Amino acid sequence: MTTVICPYCFTRASAARLPYRCLMTPSGVRGGAPCGPERDDLWAGFMGPGVPPSARMRGPVFPAARRLGGLGGPAGGGSSVPCPDCGVPTPVRVCDSCHSDLPSDYCDQDSRIIALVGAKASGKSTYAAVLVNELNHRVGQAYHASLAAMGQSTQQRDKEMAEDLYERLRLPDATRPAALGFNDPLLYRLSLPRKGLLGGSGTRHTTLVFFDAAGEDLAGAEAMHRYTRYLSAADGIILLVDPLQLGSVRDRLPVHEGPPLPVVETAPQQIAADLAAQLRAHGRGRTRGRVSTPMAVAVTKTDMLRPLLDPHSPLLRNAPHSAGAYDDADRLAVHEELRSLLTDWDAGSLLRQLDLDFAELSFFGLSALGAPPPRDAPADAPKSGPQPVRVEDPLLWLLSRRGLLPVRAAEKGRAR
């Protein structure tokens, strides 16, 4: 029996038991009338106080029909069932806990929930927009992969982000804090080639769920409690660390070059400590006190760090993706360089915090834009447009851990 994790409230449920929502469309049968909208206070309550009264009126929700031999209608999210009142088939599944609509094919494949967290101004929204573009183009080509947005919300968001960032050269707005309403997750279907044991080939489809938490909601453990259900359900966490928040880095950068330095926000080590505390409280800790969720620590804005890096640093070039395999030797080279730099920059404060709190972590360095924003227009992308470096590395590492990508092992130098 397929188990589905709601990408909105992260409640687990059997796919066969999920209710449906009527589309409220005419049946085409003479004399047939479509269903009318009904108040959905369960959904409105979950979405928050910003939902206007008119938006609460939605298509009626009805349970999956019972059938001989057990509960439930079709197990797959792509199957349609008729509304018991109007008879019109609907494929729209609904989470029984929050009444959020699920994309029609969400229930058809396994899911990987990726938590994207970081302090305010660490570049989460820009990173997500550029990552999707790279997966659709350069990285997708290297791995023979395809990435498709699932659901109208993600499709519309991607369209707006692409127009702003790649056509208008405008950086995305800051993520909305949880106090102002719920931020929809980003849902994608990742399709990758799969080789069978007997030499055959096929395609593996995996749903990727990205959830972007606003920096204001990570200012302390109490505020971050809004996201504990999401964090505890995550298969992996990408923690974005803005190096410009570190005092020693700010002091070492050349004066009067590049855009103004950002306002100092919550210290990265405090966010890491709060993350670990929340995850331990929800059963993700191990006997020795370290959290079991894999942590990809991504130091952002490496374009601003060029004066502090060796000219031959691996942080200044994209990772190789030879023969569609993830290069673990390259990951280790970046990992060790970042450990060394972090030890120097803040006396190892963040490094020690992460080592003590997380059982499995790897360090990455990336630049979503490839160059700083113009000094006179810090809300704009560089005039050449985004030229990203290594934005895909944290996600590919998390996917490789799950066996979704072939890996060129560091110790052997060959794919496995």
The DSSP result for 233-292, as a single string, is H-SEEEEEE-GGGSHHHHHHSPTT-SSPPPPP-S-HHHHHHHHHHHHHHTT-B-TTS-B-
The mean pLDDT value for 341-364 works out to 92
Q: Give yes or no for a contact between 401 and 235, defined as CB atoms under 8 angstroms apart.
A: no
For the chain, give the percent of residues with pLDDT over 70: 85
CB within 8 Å of 390: residues ≥ 6 apart: 302, 315, 318, 319, 334, 364, 365, 366, 367
The mean pLDDT value for 115-119 works out to 83
- Structural tokens at position 365: 């360095």
Same domain? For 10 and 128 the reply is: no
Residue with token string 């056509």? 167
Give the pLDDT confidence score for residue 215 in this predicted structure: 55
Cross-strand partners of 193: 203
Q: Kindly state whether residue 330 falls inside one of the protein's structural domains.
A: yes
Same domain? For 55 and 171 the reply is: no
Same domain? For 44 and 135 the reply is: no
pLDDT-derived band of residue 249, with 50, 70 and 90 as boundaries?
Answer: very high
Give the pLDDT confidence score for residue 30 in this predicted structure: 54
* End position of a domain, from candidates 72, 107, 142: 107
Evaluate if residue 375 carries a pLDDT over 70: yes
Evaluate if residue 3 carries a pLDDT over 90: no
For the chain, give the percent of residues with pLDDT over 90: 44
The answer to which of 35-39, 289-293, 391-395 has the lowest mean pLDDT is 289-293
* End position of a domain, from candidates 74, 90, 107: 107
Q: Of 335, 340, 236, which is closest to residue 291 (Cα–Cα)?
A: 236
Same domain? For 93 and 132 the reply is: no
Same domain? For 101 and 236 the reply is: no
Backbone angles phi, psi at 408, to 5 degrees: -90, 100
- Name, of 7-21, 251-265, 268-282, the range with top average pLDDT: 7-21
* End position of a domain, from candidates 56, 74, 107: 107
Which residues form the domain of 103? 3-107
CATH of the domain at 208: 3.40.50.300
Q: Kindly state whether residue 379 falls inside one of the protein's structural domains.
A: yes
Angstrom distance (rounded) from CA 267 to CA 255:
23
Task: Return the SS3 of 107.
Answer: helix
Share the mean pLDDT of the chain. Answer: 84
Evaluate if residue 280 carries a pLDDT over 80: yes
Q: Kindly state whether residue 415 falls inside one of the protein's structural domains.
A: no
Count CB neighbours of 270 within 10 A. Answer: 17
pLDDT-derived band of residue 185, with 50, 70 and 90 as boundaries?
Answer: confident
The mean pLDDT value for 128-145 works out to 94
Angstrom distance (rounded) from CA 83 to CA 182:
29
pLDDT-derived band of residue 240, with 50, 70 and 90 as boundaries?
Answer: very high
Q: Read off the pTM.
A: 0.86
Evaluate if residue 189 carries a pLDDT over 60: yes
Q: Give yes or no for a contact between 94 and 61, defined as CB atoms under 8 angstroms apart.
A: yes
The better pLDDT of the pair 222, 119 is held by 119
Same domain? For 103 and 160 the reply is: no
Q: Kindly state whether residue 413 falls inside one of the protein's structural domains.
A: no
Q: Kindly state whether residue 188 falls inside one of the protein's structural domains.
A: yes
Q: Kindly state whether residue 414 falls inside one of the protein's structural domains.
A: no
Q: Kindly state whether residue 416 falls inside one of the protein's structural domains.
A: no
Same domain? For 79 and 118 the reply is: no
Same domain? For 122 and 52 the reply is: no
The mean pLDDT value for 169-189 works out to 71
Q: Give yes or no for a contact between 38 and 58, defined as CB atoms under 8 angstroms apart.
A: yes
Give the pLDDT confidence score for residue 363 in this predicted structure: 97
The mean pLDDT value for 22-30 works out to 78
Q: Give yes or no for a contact between 295 and 351, defined as CB atoms under 8 angstroms apart.
A: no
The mean pLDDT value for 338-342 works out to 95
H or E segment at 229? helix 228-233
Across the chain, how many H-helices and E-strands are there? Answer: 11, 19
Residue with token string 């183009």? 137
The better pLDDT of the pair 51, 95 is held by 95
Q: Kindly state whether residue 15 falls inside one of the protein's structural domains.
A: yes
Same domain? For 172 and 54 the reply is: no
Give the pLDDT confidence score for residue 8 in this predicted structure: 87
| Structural domain count, the chain | 2
Same domain? For 223 and 321 the reply is: yes
Give the pLDDT confidence score for residue 175 in this predicted structure: 59
Q: Of 224, 204, 213, 211, which is closest to residue 6 (Cα–Cα)?
A: 211
Same domain? For 219 and 195 the reply is: yes
Angstrom distance (rounded) from CA 350 to CA 338:
11
Angstrom distance (rounded) from CA 293 to CA 286:
10
Same domain? For 201 and 66 the reply is: no
The mean pLDDT value for 238-259 works out to 85
Chain-centre distance for alpha carbon 1 = 26
